[in-house]
Amino acid sequence: MDYLKINGAHGEGGGQIVRSAITLSCITKKPIHLENIRKNRKVPGLRPQHITAITILQKIANARVFGAEIGSTELKFIPGKIESLNVVEDVGTAGSIPLILQVLIPVSSISQKQLNLTIKGGTDVLWSPTIDYTQYVLKEAYSRMGIEFTLEVDRRGYYPKGNGKVKLQICKSNLKSISFSKRKTKNVKLICSFSKLSKEKIKNEINRIVKKITEQNFIVDTIIKDEEALDSGATLLIYTIDDGSIIGIDALYNNKIQSFDLDIENFIQSFSIDDNLADMLIVPASLSLGKTILPVKEITKHLETNLYVTSKITGCKYGIGKTNYGFEVIIEGISNSCI
């Protein structure tokens, strides 16, 4: 078997390499051999959410997989024919559902297949986008690129027990490139969900955040929801959307400091898209027709690593230019010709 070898310790060296590699392996039909997976992490190797994503992909892509075990630092993934399926899965921990969806949505949609998924796990956990970010920010960006999905959150899942429940339906795509320009809107959406915490403390914290944002001449529309979960927790999403920009920032409530861990100044000063969203758009951009233009404040390790892995697998070309705001990433897609 002729594998495309990928060093999982390259650049940022985290789970993003795994997610991008197995996603593109399925779409391009290229077998991959991942080595040194998360090797420099405190807990190296594959984690439960990686195993769940691989397991689901194995089903929908009729793939042969070697090394898909928790803690494994080596994985061989040989994709087959992708099918439309109905799938029920349980991560078994508070492993991140949003990170799993980052793999499944592009694979099914870009491959012109449908997937109906019911999955249990963590909806709002550390080191991961929240499920609301997926629902309102990523979904909007994907939709502009021709990728459509619907998402229903039946139950929130916080660390450590998880047990959140999400239903996902992925539709076939008509993939296209996208260009962002500059934020024009002053209308901000703020969504907060909490469970087993003081409603008064949550409201006071939200009022403090809203005050900071409105002081910069933004208008904030606020939704606060008390939603049951096994563990106590709270999640927050703040975002703006207009025809030239999509900017979101999310955070979890930190019980120790009694506040949400987020950089409000970064959101206020954002120009076009947030850095996390830019990272998530690299894979579909590499397969689309034409140039995708992503203005970003900085070139993060995550973004740099994702560009490397994506270009290595797809053969797409990309360039990075300096601007007055920060940087502009231009990706020349391969016109989806590999499918």
Residues involved in catalysis: 302
Q: Tell me if 138 sits within 8 A of 277, measured CB to CB.
A: yes
What's the CA gap between 268 and 209, in Å, rounded? 12
What's the CA gap between 118 and 254, in Å, rounded? 29
Residue in this structure with the two tokens 């290595």, named with its chain if needed: 312
Phi, psi angle pair for 96, to nearest 5° = -70, 115
DSSP designation for 37: T
Q: At what angle do helices 97-110 and 15-28 cross, to 10 degrees?
A: 20
Signed CA dihedral, 93, 94, 97, 102: sign only? negative
Residues 6+ positions from 150 with CB-CB distance below 8 Å? 168, 169
Residue type, 160: P
C-alpha distances in angstroms, 127 versus 15, 45, 97, 248? Answer: 10, 16, 12, 16
